[in-house]
Amino acid sequence: MSQRSPIDLGLVSNLAMIKKPGSEDLLMLVGQSQQSGRWVRIITRGAAQTMWFYLTNFLYPRAAAQLTPRAATAVLKPSDSPVVTPFLEVLNLEEKKIIRLHGVGSAEEWVAYFTHDEGFELWAALEKILNVV
């Protein structure tokens, strides 16, 4: 990772994943933050698939052994656009029932935290939009 400090979106809610209009390979992760209000991060399809993989393992550990091997492989590649986040790190802070999402793009890094309940909603949105299995 880089030397810059990530933008801290804090504890976020109302997460959704939608297709970016006019693009097949970009998605929009939207949410609500107490610090910065409504926000949007544009992420690549590969980054979204990575997030789906980790959320599946964190939130549905028994089903993950059957679901994740059938999923398409995520293609991770840098983006030409500085506003796109092509890489995500997803950590389960299990003792707090919080998930930490760290996005890395060429122009910025950001970090957001969300509850497992929010994670279930985001997982469902990813499942619908990605059609990974």
1 is a domain residue: no
The pLDDT, as a whole number, for residue 77 is: 61
48 is a domain residue: yes
pLDDT tens digit sequence for 37-52: 999 999 999 999 989 9
* Distance linking the first and last C-alpha atoms of the chain: 30
Number of independent structural domains in the chain? 1
Alpha helices in 17-114 (DSSP H): 45-59, 61-67
2 is a domain residue: no
Say which residues have a Cβ less than 8 Å from residue 48's Cβ, sequence separation at least 6: 17, 27, 29, 126, 129, 130
113 is a domain residue: yes
Least confident segment among 13-17, 33-37, 54-58, 99-103: 33-37
Determine the structural domain holding residue 63 and report its residue range: 7-130
pLDDT tens digit sequence for 76-126: 566 678 789 999 999 999 889 999 999 999 889 999 999 999 999 999 999
Structure tokens at 117: 């309940």
For residue 26, which of 65, 71, 80, 70 has the smallest C-alpha distance?
80
The whole-angstrom separation of Cα 50 and Cα 53 is 5
The pLDDT, as a whole number, for residue 1 is: 46
